[in-house]
Amino acid sequence: MRQDTIKKIGKILFVLKESQDWLHLREISRRTGIHHQTISEILDKYLNQFILTQNLNDYGLKLKLVKLKDSKVDLKGVLTYLKYMKKIQD
């Protein structure tokens, strides 16, 4: 995994831990300085096991809200999990 991706994962985790509440992808984007589409991809690819997701499609608005499942999740734990999952898949 690239170093810049690891830094982005760390920034996203920090914002989610700091908030401890549901956040919209664009709010995470605003707080981290990372493009909202990149955040969506990172959440889906790397952090899916560590977050809860709410999709709201009321009145033609598409909102994706996310929140950490466990506030004790840290970057080291996520990277260890991803390392073992990669080994299992290979």
State pTM to two decimals: 0.89
CB count within 10 Å of CB 22 equals: 14
Between residues 14 and 60, the one the model is more confident about: 14
51-60: long-range contacts, CB 8 A cutoff, minimum separation 24 = 51/16, 54/22
Model confidence at 61: pLDDT above 80: no
Q: What phi, psi does 35 have (nearest 5°)?
A: -55, 140
Quote the distance between the C-alpha of residue 52 and its chain's center.
10
> Within the chain, where are the H helices?
3-19, 25-32, 36-45, 75-89
Model confidence at 64: pLDDT above 90: no
Model confidence at 90: pLDDT above 90: no
Average pLDDT over residues 15-20: 94
How high is the mean pLDDT of the chain?
Answer: 92
